[in-house]
Amino acid sequence: MKLLDRVALVAKRLHYSANTITCYQRWIAEFLSFCRDNGRWRQPAELGASHVQAFLTHLAVHRKVAASTQNQATNAIVFLYRRVLVDELPADHLGKFVAERSKRPVRIPTVLSTDEVSRIIAAMESTGEAGRPRTLMVQLLYGTGMRLMEVHQLRLRDLDFDRGQILIRQGKGDKDRLVMMPQRLRAPLLEQARRVRALHQRDLARGRGFAPVPDVLLNKVPYAADDWRWQFLFPSQSAAPITIERQRADGTIAAEQRYVRHHAAVGVLDRFIRAAVRNAGVSKRVTAHTFRHSFATHLLEAGYDIRQVQTLLGHQRLETTMIYTHVMNKPAIAVSSPLDRLVAATA
């Protein structure tokens, strides 16, 4: 079995997310490629702390990556040696790099004013019917504080209209949490859910009404893949073929091809946001995550308890949420500048 396939198997056994698995495979491949000797691929057992140090130095000096990106690469390499090759190499094979991480600088997040949020959403709404689902996604980002992938991965079953809640499943850290359903979005969400169910019915008629579901659920509830409740709230434009393997009672493997409709592509929303920001005349650099920052800051400015905001954001540590207290409109920073007083005195 190839090394990267072993990495994926171990990570799946430990219930790492698909994004983390892909990320670790990419960094391990880059590390091994960097350490080639005159084009010859070297076995991980031949590489040690000095090679890891050279690779991380290369990332910082030549690639000029951020500290968080460098730490991501370190985590992937440590995972390879401590989890995948644990029975083949001594525990101290990498030495100090098992615990070493780069110091991440503390940055104050970009936060939009309520007027800027209104202008950006108005610019999105002006795109008409074509931009309606993406506008709704941005409204959810700002109205609930969800992360970008959490919005993309919402399924119809996660909407609780009776209780006015949205259930976010398997968020960061594989944790579930509840957020409010903004009253303003109740009708648009109902309409979007109706559209998805109609699309699902058309897919079923063509034998393509499947949604990707966890393997554990597929084994327990085989019909879940074509159940409308598991359809993504914001589906992709087309269905893609995948091969499903199942084990029969006699131990043999049965392969079946299905056309699965995944969630919408992430990059499409990024481009939509950039265009709306430009059309709204907002000068700040705005990403999908900026709306999450704005959600948290505006709640704190409205007087809500920081613990409530921490729960809504799904932060494990309160210190992570406290970064938003640095960008609030607080009386302590609403003082008159001495330059303004100087001008007033000489006027």
Q: pLDDT tens for residues 184-207?
A: 999 999 999 999 999 999 988 888
| Residue 175 annotated among the catalytic residues of the structure | no
| Residue 292 annotated among the catalytic residues of the structure | yes
> Which residues, in sequence order, are CB contacts of 342 under 8 Å at separation 6+?
none
**Amino acid of residue 323:** I
pLDDT reported for residue 226 = 82
| Residue 278 annotated among the catalytic residues of the structure | no
Of 289, 307, 330, 341, which residue is the catalytic one? 289
Domain with CATH 1.10.150.130 in the chain: 3-98
| Residue 6 annotated among the catalytic residues of the structure | no
**Amino acid of residue 45:** A
Of 26, 157, 172, 177, which residue is the catalytic one? 172
For 253-269, how does the pLDDT look when each residue is reduced to its tens digit (9 = 90+)? 777 777 888 899 888 99
- The class (CATH top level) of 3-98 is mainly alpha
Q: How far is CA 237 from its chain centroid?
A: 20
Nearest-10 Cα torsion for 132, 138, 140, 145: 180
Of 200, 292, 293, 298, which residue is the catalytic one? 292
Assigned token pair, 136: 């709704």
320 three-state secondary structure = helix
How far apart (Å, rounded) are the C-alpha atoms in residues 247 and 86? 30
| Residue 315 annotated among the catalytic residues of the structure | yes
- Report the candidate in 234, 239, 231, 230 with the shortest Cα–Cα distance to residue 264: 234
Mean pLDDT, range 225-242, rounded to an integer: 87
pLDDT reported for residue 222 = 72
Of 6, 132, 147, 157, which residue is the catalytic one? 147
- 127 burial level (CB within 10 Å; 0-12, 13-18, 19+): middle
pTM over 0.85: no
295, pLDDT greater than 70: yes
| Residue 132 annotated among the catalytic residues of the structure | no
Mean pLDDT, range 242-255, rounded to an integer: 70
